[in-house]
Amino acid sequence: MIKLNLFNERIMPMMRILDSHAHLDHALFDTDRDELFESMAQAGIETAIIPGVSPERWSKQLDVAKRYSCPYGLGIHPWFCADNPQQALDLLTDKLNSYIEDPYLVAIGECGLDKIHKDNWHGQIIALQAQLSMAQQLNLPVILHVVKAHSEMLAMLKRYSLPRGGVIHGFYGSLAIASEYIKLGFKLGIGGLILNPSARKLRTCVAQLPHDSVLIETDSPAMTPRNAAESRNTPLILQSIIAEIATLHKKTSVLISEHAFRNTVQLFDLKLILI
Ligand SMILES: [Zn+2]
């Protein structure tokens, strides 16, 4: 029996998998969060990074992160940003001061720019600038949400050179844009959109991305893949994302997952958290 297990491990090495971006504090997980974490463990998903989105939601986010030992970011998402975000930014400064010694605080974010929700564009810019300078001062990476605003984001990142870079989460763009981010020290978070056969631009781009630039993520409960059984997304689709990237790269899932795991651990400095 023991021999058989060893043999199986050798031919099928266990993939180490992390969800680099999942909002597992969301109310859609309130009824079955324990079961979801149990299913994740059974599927070999070790943990998920939970990004922060707004002052109103930080306290529940921190409770969930603590209960399930998840690393997390603290930040103000562009959708939840007031025209004058100064009050929220002051609260963010206070929160960061309280949690800066917590090894599970691994990033500033999620913050960014979103032109689909551009009613608060002015506030988005102010909040992003402030959060980039917090990342600089605290020497933390940033988790960035960028929708239809790559040129503005790239210009901003050139002004604030961040020692630890960050990730463009849920990346959707061309290889040329991806290369600009990579040059600035950023990784690209690839999520469930890659499973959509009509996402041709993204699939072409991902097929050519260097292995050391890719993180995998689900953005759960958002970004549910087409034809999924559940209306909410969960980290349980990570293996399909890995398999799809592997197919595009003509490599094995093990190789892709190893790179994505290592990239995530390095970017967010998770080695003290993960055994
Ligand atoms: Zn998100």
Euclidean distance between CA atoms 236 and 27, whole angstroms: 18
Whether 2 shows a pLDDT value over 80: the answer reads no
- Give residue 210's pLDDT: 96
Q: Could you tell me the distance, in angstroms and rounded to a whole number, from the CA of residue 223 to the centre of ligand 1? A: 10
Out of 9-18, 49-58, 74-83, 110-119, which region has the weakest mean confidence (pLDDT)?
9-18
- Give residue 274's pLDDT: 83
- Give residue 5's pLDDT: 43
- Give residue 13's pLDDT: 54
**Residue 151 located in a structural domain:** yes
- Residue 249 known to bind ligand: no
**Residue 56 located in a structural domain:** yes
Query: 153 lies in which domain range?
Result: 17-268
Question: Up-side HSE of residue 23: CA atoms within 13 Å toward CB?
Answer: 23
Q: Could you tell me the distance, in angstroms and rounded to a whole number, from the CA of residue 235 to the centre of ligand 1? A: 13
Q: Could you tell me the distance, in angstroms and rounded to a whole number, from the CA of residue 73 to the centre of ligand 1? A: 11
Q: Could you tell me the distance, in angstroms and rounded to a whole number, from the CA of residue 169 to the centre of ligand 1? A: 7
Please answer whether residues 212 and 259 qualify as being in contact, where contact means their C-beta atoms are separated by less than 8 angstroms: yes
- Give residue 3's pLDDT: 44
- Give residue 224's pLDDT: 80
**Residue 218 located in a structural domain:** yes
pLDDT 10s digits, 110-165: 999 999 998 999 999 999 999 999 999 999 999 999 999 999 999 999 999 899 99
- Give residue 39's pLDDT: 96
**Residue 3 located in a structural domain:** no
- Compute the average pLDDT of residues 212-234: 88
Domain count, the chain: 1
Split at pLDDT 50, 70, 90, the class of 9 is very low
**Residue 106 located in a structural domain:** yes
pLDDT 10s digits, 29-56: 999 999 999 999 999 999 999 999 999 9
Whether 8 shows a pLDDT value over 70: the answer reads no
**Residue 63 located in a structural domain:** yes
- Residue 219 known to bind ligand: yes
Q: Could you tell me the distance, in angstroms and rounded to a whole number, from the CA of residue 64 to the centre of ligand 1? A: 16
**Proportion of the chain above pLDDT 70, given as a percent:** 95
- Residue 117 known to bind ligand: no
- Give residue 11's pLDDT: 45
**Residue 8 located in a structural domain:** no
**Residue 228 or 232, more confident:** 232
The CATH code of the domain that includes 111 is 3.20.20.140
Q: Could you tell me the distance, in angstroms and rounded to a whole number, from the CA of residue 219 to the centre of ligand 1? A: 5
Q: Could you tell me the distance, in angstroms and rounded to a whole number, from the CA of residue 244 to the centre of ligand 1? A: 21
Q: Could you tell me the distance, in angstroms and rounded to a whole number, from the CA of residue 22 to the centre of ligand 1? A: 7
**Residue 43 located in a structural domain:** yes
